[in-house]
Amino acid sequence: MKIKCVIIDDEPIARDIIRDYILKINELEIIAEFNKPTEAIIFLNENKTDLLFLDINMPEINGIDFAKSLSDPPAIVFTTAYREYAANGFELQAVDYLVKPIPFERFLKAVNHYIKLHSKSVEMPVSEKRDKPEDLFIFLKDSKKTHKIYLGDIRYIESDGDYIRFYLQNRKLMVRGSLASMEGTLPPGLFLRIHNSYIVSLKKVNAVTINSVEVDGTELPISRSHKEKVLKILNIKSL
């Protein structure tokens, strides 16, 4: 089921950008757009909305006050040109706070954050819970398209300058970004940073030596600065 999105922004260009970003991601669906918050009240009360992209600085009522007025608000990503509003936005437990002009990579991070939060908040019978690595996914954008990548398909990730290379089950994918930002996005119980240049999937680890981790037959180095943490998490007392 797609994530139902609503855009509220009094600036046509800003709405165009958010709309364009949403249309690039197959998992998202725009169900309404408004240039005035007051015009959105009835719609939000009568229609299930998963994710609201809400501008803060608007003439009738600012986005923060509007969000406070909603009795059952959806998840909210605030958008604005003013960084000083960030603290107030996060006080409302917003999913994220995006400062204009919004790069697509930053927008993608906010969507990934929502998906991560959403996957934890959905209540299902224990036998039906989709909390396995192969059920969770992230979106990654290369130079041509946005890819939906299941966490269970990731073997390991390698830093390469301003890019990071994903080694998947049957292919490789290179995207612009840093290993540090990806480390903050991935679930720590499923992935482990073993080196300044490598993150590995714990599920794919086959063997460990004092200086390396073997992932599906590929030997990757453990750095001195990460060694104590790696051995502790892998529950290895000595080698």
Terminal CA-CA length for the chain: 47
- Phi-psi region for residue 167, left (φ > 0), alpha (ψ -120 to 50) or beta? beta
Domain final residue, candidates 121, 150, 169? 121
Confidence of residue 122 (pLDDT cuts 50, 70, 90): very low
Local confidence band at 152 (pLDDT 50, 70, 90 cut-offs): confident
What DSSP assignment string belongs to 112-127? HHHHHHHHHH----GG
User: Are the beta carbons of 56 and 78 closer than 8 angstroms?
Assistant: yes
Q: Classify residue 41: in a domain, yes or no.
A: yes
pLDDT at res. 90: 46
| pLDDT number for residue 128 | 36
pLDDT of residue 142: 81
Domain co-membership, 135 together with 116: no
Lowest mean pLDDT among 1-10, 104-113, 127-136, 170-179: 127-136
95 and 180, same domain (yes or no): no
Q: What is the mean pLDDT of residues 39-53?
A: 94
Give the end of a domain, one of 101, 121, 141: 121
Would 84 be classed as within a structural domain? Answer: yes
Inter-residue contact 192 to 179 (CB < 8 Å): no
CATH, residue 35: 3.40.50.2300
Cβ–Cβ < 8 Å for 136, 179: no
Distance CA 208, CA 69 (A): 54
Residue 140: the pLDDT is 84
Angle of helix 12-23 versus helix 104-121 axis, rounded to 10 = 60
- pLDDT at 86 exceeding the cut of 60: no
| Domain containing residue 137 | 128-233
Q: Are residues 62 and 106 in the same domain?
A: yes
Does the residue 49 lie in any domain?
yes
So what's the pLDDT on residue 83? 62
**Higher-scoring residue by pLDDT: 127, 149:** 149
Q: Are residue 117 and residue 149 in the same domain, yes or no?
A: no
pLDDT confidence of residue 87? 46
* Stretch 9-32: mean pLDDT: 93
Q: Are residues 114 and 17 in the same domain?
A: yes
pLDDT reported for residue 22: 93
Same domain, 110 and 24: yes
Regarding whether 148 and 112 lie in a shared domain, the answer is no
Query: Which domain-ending residue is among 64, 87, 121?
Result: 121
d(CA 191, CA 203): 8
Q: Report whether pLDDT(217) > 70.
A: yes
* pLDDT(84) > 80: no
Domain co-membership, 185 together with 81: no
In a domain, 238, yes or no: no
Tally the domains of the chain. 2
Categorize the per-residue pLDDT at 127 as very low, low, confident or very high, splitting at 50, 70 and 90. Answer: very low
CATH number at residue 140: 2.40.50.1020
Q: Which phi and psi (to 5°) does residue 208 adopt?
A: -140, 135
Most confident by average pLDDT, 128-132, 178-182, 203-207: 203-207
Task: Using DSSP bridges, classify how beta strands 75-80 and 96-99 pair: parallel, antiparallel or unpaired.
Answer: parallel
| Same domain, residue pair 115 and 151 | no
Same domain, 84 and 9: yes
Both 61 and 154 in one domain: the answer is: no
Residues 6+ apart with CB under 8 A from 58: 8, 9, 10, 36, 37, 66
Please tell me whether residues 53 and 88 are part of one structural domain.
Answer: yes
In a domain, 239, yes or no: no
